[in-house]
Chain A
Amino acid sequence: MPSSPLPRRLLLQTLAGATALTTCTYIARRSQAAPPEIRYEPAFFTQEEWRFLHAACDRLIPQDVYGPSAIELGVPEFIDRQMETPYAYGALWYMQGPHITGPANLGYQLIYTPRDIYRYGISGACDLCRQMHNTEFADLDPATRDSFLRELESGEHQFGDLPASTFFGHLLGNTQEGAFSDPIHGGNKGLGGWAMTGFPGARADFMDWVDQYGKQYPLGSVSISGETI
Chain B
Amino acid sequence: MATITRKSVNVVIVGGGWAGSIMAKELTEAGQHVVMLERGAERSTAVDGAYPTSLDELEGNFRFKIFQKLQKTTVTIRNNITQTALPYRQLAAFLPGEGVGGAGLHWSGVHLRIAPDDLAMRSTVIAKYGKSFIPDGMNLQDYGVTYAELEPFFDKAEKVFGTSGEAYTVNGKIVGKGNAFAPDRSDDFPLPPLKDVTGAHLFRKAAEAVGYHPYSIPAANASRQYTNTYGAQMGPCNFCGYCSGYACYMYSKASPNVNILPALRNNPLFEIRPNATVLHVNLDSTKSRATGVTYLDDKGDKIIQPAELVILAAFQFNNVHLMLVSGIGSPYDPVANTGVVGRNFVYQNISTTTAWMDPSVYTNQFIGTGGGGVAFDDFNSENFDHGPLGFIGGSPVWVNQAGVKAIAAAKAGGPPGTPRWGSAWKSEMIDTYTHAVRMDAHGSNMAYRDVFLDLDPTWKDAFGRPLLRMTFDWKENDIRMNRYVVGKIEAVTKAMGARRTHLGMKEFGQPFDTRFYQTTHLGGGAVMGDDPKSSALNRYLQCWDVSNVFVIGSNAFPQGTGYNPTGMVAALAYWSAHHIRMTYLKNPGPLVPV
- List chain A positions with a Cβ less than 8 A from chain B: 12-13, 15-16, 59-62, 64-67, 85, 87, 91-96, 98, 100, 102-109, 146, 149, 153, 172-173, 175-177, 179-182, 184-185, 193-194, 196-202, 204-207, 209-211, 213-217, 224
Interface SS, B side = loop
Query: Measured between C-beta atoms, what is the minimum distance from A72 to chain B in Å?
Result: 13
Question: Contacts A180-B407, A204-B52, A204-B249 given: A211-B196 contact, CB under 8 Å?
Answer: yes
Answer yes or no: B513 CB below 8 A from chain A CBs. Answer: yes
Question: Contacts A106-B86, A214-B361 given: A12-B434 contact, CB under 8 Å?
Answer: yes
B58/A181 in contact, CB under 8 A: yes
Complex Cα distance A65/B430, Å? 12
Complex Cα distance A146/B513, Å? 29
Can you list 21 A-B contacts (CB < 8 A)?
A16-B359, A64-B423, A66-B426, A85-B63, A93-B89, A105-B513, A176-B407, A181-B57, A181-B406, A182-B57, A193-B406, A198-B434, A199-B409, A199-B433, A200-B366, A202-B52, A204-B55, A204-B242, A209-B367, A210-B196, A211-B195
Instruction: Give the most central of A16, A193, A198: most B CB within 10 Å.
Output: A198
Query: Measured between C-beta atoms, what is the minimum distance from B130 to chain A in Å?
Result: 36
Question: B460: which A residues are within 8 A, CB to CB?
Answer: 96
Query: Measured between C-beta atoms, what is the minimum distance from B553 to chain A in Å?
Result: 22
Query: Measured between C-beta atoms, what is the minimum distance from A62 to chain B in Å?
Result: 6
Question: Contacts A106-B77, A181-B56 given: A196-B89 contact, CB under 8 Å?
Answer: no
Question: Contacts A94-B70, A193-B406, A210-B195 given: A172-B64 contact, CB under 8 Å?
Answer: no
Query: Measured between C-beta atoms, what is the minimum distance from B330 to chain A in Å?
Result: 28
- CB-contact partner of A93 in B90, B359, B364, B409, under 8 A: B90
Answer yes or no: B360 CB below 8 A from chain A CBs. Answer: yes
Question: Contacts A60-B422, A100-B84, A172-B420 given: A87-B63 contact, CB under 8 Å?
Answer: yes
A94/B89 in contact, CB under 8 A: yes
Instruction: Give the most central of B360, B362, B406, B431: most A CB within 10 Å.
Output: B406
- CB-contact partner of A107 in B58, B84, B515, under 8 A: B515
Question: A213: which B residues are within 8 A, CB to CB?
Answer: 198, 201-202
Query: Measured between C-beta atoms, what is the minimum distance from A124 to chain B in Å?
Result: 19
A206/B515 in contact, CB under 8 A: no
Nearest B-chain residue to A223, judged by Cβ = B52
Answer yes or no: B79 CB below 8 A from chain A CBs. Answer: yes
Query: Measured between C-beta atoms, what is the minimum distance from A8 to chain B in Å?
Result: 10
B58/A177 in contact, CB under 8 A: yes
6 closest A-B pairs (Cβ-Cβ)? A180-B406, A181-B58, A204-B240, A199-B406, A176-B410, A105-B513
Question: A179: which B residues are within 8 A, CB to CB?
Answer: 410
A66/B430 in contact, CB under 8 A: yes
Query: In the complex, how many residue pairs between chain A and chain B have their CB atoms under 8 Å apart?
Result: 203
Complex Cα distance A103/B148, Å? 46
Nearest B-chain residue to A205, judged by Cβ = B238
Question: B195: which A residues are within 8 A, CB to CB?
Answer: 210-211
Question: Contacts A92-B70, A211-B196 given: A105-B426 contact, CB under 8 Å?
Answer: no
Query: Measured between C-beta atoms, what is the minimum distance from B413 to chain A in Å?
Result: 9
Question: A100: which B residues are within 8 A, CB to CB?
Answer: 84, 86
Complex Cα distance A223/B196, Å? 26
Answer yes or no: B6 CB below 8 A from chain A CBs. Answer: no
A13/B56 in contact, CB under 8 A: no
Query: Measured between C-beta atoms, what is the minimum distance from A221 to chain B in Å?
Result: 9
- CB-contact partner of B362 in A106, A199, A216, under 8 A: A216
Complex Cα distance A199/B429, Å? 12
Complex Cα distance A104/B79, Å? 12
Question: Contacts A60-B422, A92-B64 given: A66-B240 contact, CB under 8 Å?
Answer: no
Question: B70: which A residues are within 8 A, CB to CB?
Answer: 92-94
Complex Cα distance A146/B89, Å? 31
Complex Cα distance A62/B360, Å? 26
Nearest B-chain residue to A92, judged by Cβ = B69
Question: B434: which A residues are within 8 A, CB to CB?
Answer: 12, 197-198
